[in-house]
A = this chain, B = another copy of it.
Amino acid sequence: MDPKTAYDELAKLTREAALLGSVGELLEWDQHSVMPPAGAGHRSDQISLLAGMRHKRFTDPRVGELLSALEGSRLSLGDTPEAADIKELRCAYDKAVKLPGRLVEELAKAASLAQEEWVAARRESDFSKFLPWLEKILKLTREKAKAYGLPGEPYDALLDDFEPGAKSAEVSAVFSALREDLIKLLDKVRGSSRQPDASAVEGDFDPVVQKLFAESVIGAMGFDFDSGRLDTTAHPFCVGIGAGDTRILTRYNPKRLPNGLLAAMHEAGHALYEMGLDKQNRFGLPSAEAVSLGIHESQSRIWENQVGRSRAFWEHFFPQAQRLFRSSLGKVKLDDFYGAINEVKPSYIRVEANEAYYNLHILLRFELERALLSGDLKPAEVPVEWNTRFKKYFGVAVDKDSNGCLQDVHWAAGLIGYFPTYTLGNLYAAQFFAKANSEMPDLAKKISSGDLFGLRGWLKERIHRHGKRYRAGVLCHRVTGGPLSHKPLIEYMSAKYGEIYGF
> A245: which of B16, B26, B36, B243 is its contact (CB, 8 Å)?
B36
A161 at the interface (CB under 8 A from B): no
> Does B36 contact A22, Cβ atoms closer than 8 Å?
no
**B22 with A23: CB separation less than 8 A:** no
B residues in contact with A247, CB < 8 Å = 36
A241 near B: Cβ within 8 Å? yes
Copies in the complex: 2
Which B-chain residue is minimally distant from A228 (CB atoms)? B36
What 8 A-B pairs have minimum CB-CB distances, sorted nearest first? Answer: A39-B245, A38-B244, A42-B242, A38-B227, A39-B244, A38-B226, A42-B243, A19-B49
Query: Chain B residue with minimal CB distance to A242?
Result: B42
Hey, which chain B residues are within 8 Å of A41, CB to CB?
243-244
A23:B50 contact, CB within 8 angstroms: yes
**What would be 18 A-B contacts, judged by CB atoms less than 8 Å apart?**
A19-B46, A19-B49, A22-B42, A22-B46, A23-B27, A23-B46, A30-B30, A34-B229, A35-B245, A36-B229, A36-B245, A36-B246, A37-B226, A38-B243, A42-B242, A42-B245, A46-B242, A53-B53
Q: How many residues of A contact B (CB 8 A)?
A: 38
Separation of A247 and B30 alpha carbons in the complex (Å): 12
What is the bound-complex CA distance between A18 and B242, given in angstroms?
Answer: 24
**Which residue of chain B is the closest to A283 with respect to CB atoms?**
B42
A45 and B19: CB pair below 8 A? yes
Contact with B along A403-415 (1 / 0, CB 8 A): 0000000000000
Interface residues of A in 204-247 (CB under 8 A from B): 224-229, 241-247
| Contact residues in B for A34 (Cβ distance below 8 Å) | 34, 229
Q: Considering the complex, give the chain B residue whose CB is closest to the CB of A23.
A: B46
Residues on B with C-beta less than 8 A from A246 are 36
A393 to B420, CA, bound (A): 74
Min Cβ gap A282→B in Å is: 13
Answer whether residue A20 sits at the interface, using C-beta atoms and an 8 A cutoff. Answer: yes
